[in-house]
């Protein structure tokens, strides 16, 4: 599984990137939605202030990576080859996801303050703002979570500085590249698995052949050991062969070169 994380200041285009990913049939897990659910569970309206309060409370209770940790089981349940997490807020969250998902890619989205403010004002969401002061206040809150540090850790940066169509083309290009890379990695893994399986079968065949050869060798050894129990080779024949060998290894040569001193072969040779 390849997991993509998105970081960026409010209004930079993270939500638009998530929409494009969804249109490309890439599952999206929105961390902000997790926080909104917690706010609603607490019985408060999901305003920017309340979401900030709940975010801080969760992080104080479970650490700065609390929201990312809560998202991990959600991501794993999707069982998809490519998943996108929207709304990372700090470097602690990035490190947790990098450690948990070996194939993790962080994407940073950037945009000028003026463009971010205009987008936030046009969204008509309960946690949006009405002035630059509100934007700077929210930026400060996000930065306090380690957002700028997280953005510096990004593997890919997308600048959202022109029109929406250009941004869409850039996002689609990046996501397609990452998807192709994932497909290629899956193909490589499958090829490796097939190679391992083939090697295993070959090893089994070699093992079977070695076992067969060992069996044959064991049978031959057993036959030779039967010489004293009336086995396939009669004891007399085996003892005669032994005597012959001993006759030729005596200290006195069988033939000394002098015909007058040539000795008779031992009885075993004569009998044989």
Give 229-258 pLDDT, tens digit per residue: 555 545 444 444 444 445 444 444 444 445
Q: Clarify whether residues 57 and 159 are in a common domain.
A: yes
Confidence check: pLDDT of 169 > 60:
yes
Q: Clarify whether residues 251 and 153 are in a common domain.
A: no
Q: Who has greater pLDDT, 219 or 5?
A: 5
Q: What is the pLDDT of residue 193?
A: 67
The answer to whether residue 223 sits within a structural domain is no
Stretch among 11-20, 200-209, 254-263 having the lowest mean pLDDT: 254-263
Q: Clarify whether residues 240 and 150 are in a common domain.
A: no
148-163: average pLDDT: 95
Q: Clarify whether residues 190 and 240 are in a common domain.
A: no
Domain boundary residue among 194, 225, 249?
194
Q: Which residue range is the domain that position 118 belongs to? A: 2-194
The answer to whether residue 210 sits within a structural domain is no
As a whole number of angstroms, the distance between CA 94 and CA 118 comes to 28
Q: Clarify whether residues 33 and 168 are in a common domain.
A: yes
**In Å, how far are 83, 85, 172, 202, 225 from 30, measured between CA atoms?**
11, 6, 19, 48, 78
Q: Clarify whether residues 115 and 23 are in a common domain.
A: yes
Q: What is the pLDDT of residue 157?
A: 96
The answer to whether residue 204 sits within a structural domain is no
The answer to whether residue 217 sits within a structural domain is no
Q: What is the pLDDT of residue 189?
A: 64
Q: Clarify whether residues 258 and 135 are in a common domain.
A: no
Confidence check: pLDDT of 177 > 70:
yes
State the total domains in the chain.
2
Provide, rounded to the nearest whole percent, the portion of the chain with pLDDT above 90. 38
Q: What is the pLDDT of residue 188?
A: 66
Q: Clarify whether residues 150 and 29 are in a common domain.
A: yes
Domain boundary residue among 167, 194, 221?
194
Sign of CA dihedral 239, 242, 248, 251: negative
Q: What is the pLDDT of residue 89?
A: 86
Q: Who has greater pLDDT, 91 or 244?
A: 91
Q: Clarify whether residues 19 and 98 are in a common domain.
A: yes
The answer to whether residue 22 sits within a structural domain is yes
Q: Clarify whether residues 9 and 127 are in a common domain.
A: yes
Q: What is the pLDDT of residue 97?
A: 96
Domain boundary residue among 168, 194, 220?
194
Under the banding of pLDDT at 50, 70 and 90, the label for residue 93 is very high
């Amino acid at each position: 599984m390849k997991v993509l994380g998105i970081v960026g200041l409010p209004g930079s285009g993270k939500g638009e990137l998530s929409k494009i990913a969804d249109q490309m049939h890439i599952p999206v897990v929105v961390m902000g939605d997790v926080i909104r659910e917690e706010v609603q569970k607490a019985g408060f309206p999901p305003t920017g202030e309340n979401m900030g309060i709940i975010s801080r409370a969760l992080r104080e209770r479970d650490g700065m990576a609390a929201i990312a940790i809560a998202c991990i089981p959600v991501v794993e349940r999707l069982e998809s080859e490519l998943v996108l997490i929207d709304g990372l807020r700090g470097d602690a969250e990035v490190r947790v996801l990098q450690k948990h998902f070996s194939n993790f890619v962080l994407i940073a989205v950037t945009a000028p303050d003026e463009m971010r403010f205009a987008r936030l004002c046009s969204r008509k969401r309960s946690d949006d703002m009405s002035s630059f002061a509100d934007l700077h206040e929210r930026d400060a809150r996000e930065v306090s979570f380690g957002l700028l540090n997280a953005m510096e850790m990004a593997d890919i940066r997308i600048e959202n500085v022109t029109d929406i169509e250009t941004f869409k083309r850039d996002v689609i290009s990046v996501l397609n590249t990452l998807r192709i890379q994932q497909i290629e990695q899956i193909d490589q893994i499958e090829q490796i698995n097939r190679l391992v399986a083939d090697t295993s079968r070959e090893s089994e065949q070699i093992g079977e052949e070695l076992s067969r050869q060992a069996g044959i060798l064991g049978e031959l050894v057993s036959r030779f050991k039967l010489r004293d129990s009336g086995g396939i080779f009669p004891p007399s024949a085996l003892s005669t062969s032994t005597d012959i060998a001993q006759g030729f290894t005596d200290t006195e040569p069988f033939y000394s070169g002098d015909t007058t001193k040539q000795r008779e072969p031992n009885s075993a040779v004569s009998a044989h």
